[in-house]
Amino acid sequence: MQKIIESLVSTGQWGEHDVVLGIRAGFKCEYCDKDLLASVENYKEWQKDHIIPTSKGGADINDNIAISCKTCNVNIKSRWNPAELAEENATREDLIKIVRKYVKNRRTQMLSDICLFREIAFSE
């Protein structure tokens, strides 16, 4: 792992903190599994998200940070707080599971909406 960290940091494109978070996440969005190194478009979506938003009392520590794609972070999860559905003393993994379920449900609803929009837009 240290070799990966050093090699990526040596490119001048990565900070050590981002590499450590990326390794923990497998370089994928922790909410939808999008491979963030699969393409330029995916890489440009790389973001860090506070699992429990700082505006909702979440700490600015590694255990409260997830690697996320922009779509999940900004367009779907936003400031939604998974702690509202979690049991007391939920682990990071518990919170990630709650967010993953939330994201999946929101994506399903959004896809349904898009299908309706396409039906309307291309009905002629």
Q: Express each pLDDT in 39-79 by its tens digit.
A: 999 999 999 999 999 999 999 999 999 999 999 999 999 99
Q: What's the predicted TM-score (pTM) here?
A: 0.91
The arithmetic mean of pLDDT across residues 108-112, rounded, is 96
Single-letter residue type at 64: N
Q: Residue-wise over 45-83: b if at least 16 C-beta within 10 A, else e?
A: bbbebbbbbeeeebeeeeebbbbbbbbbbeebbeebbbb
pLDDT, tens digit, for every residue of 14-29?
999 999 999 999 999 9
Give the pLDDT of residue 13: 95
Q: Which two tokens stand for residue 67?
A: 């690697």
pLDDT of residue 124: 78
Give the mean pLDDT of the chain: 96
Residue with tokens 């700490």: 59
The tokens for 65 are 């940070």
What confidence tens digit (pLDDT) does each residue in 79-91 have?
999 999 999 999 9
Average pLDDT estimate for 103-120: 96
Burial class for 94, CB neighbours closer than 10 Å (0-12, 13-18, 19+) = middle
Helix (H, G, I), strand (E, B) or coil at 28: strand
Element (H, E) at 82: none
Strand-pair partners of 69: 46
Confidence of residue 100 (pLDDT cuts 50, 70, 90): very high
Q: What is the CA radius of gyration of the chain?
A: 17
